[in-house]
Amino acid sequence: MYPRIDHQEEHRIIASRSDSFVTLDRQLAMRIDLRDDGSVGGEVLMLVPAEKLASGDIVPAHVQSMGLASR
């Protein structure tokens, strides 16, 4: 499988557990929770690279967490 976030490049993923996946380049990780009531939850973790701003300041690389939820 090849997930993509917004207009970024696709990343090849592999299962790391029955409910978790990680990309081969280690840029994304996701967990999908299939709940007994039929809803879905989980989390996507994405490595955001360092960025130099127009002001000259540098925003360091960091991990961004995004929750998954359904109703």
* Tokens describing residue 40: 């879905």
Closest listed residue to residue 45, CA positions, set 24, 58, 62, 69 = 62
**How confident is the model over 4-40, as pLDDT tens digits?**
777 888 889 999 999 999 999 888 999 999 989 888 9
Q: Which residues have a Cβ under 8 Å from the Cβ of 15 and sit 6 or more positions away?
A: 21
pTM of the prediction? 0.72
Q: Are 29 and 66 in contact (CB under 8 A)?
A: no
* Tokens describing residue 4: 């993509």
Measured CA to CA, the distance from residue 13 to residue 22 in angstroms comes to: 5
**How confident is the model over 33-60, as pLDDT tens digits?**
998 988 899 999 998 889 999 999 999 9
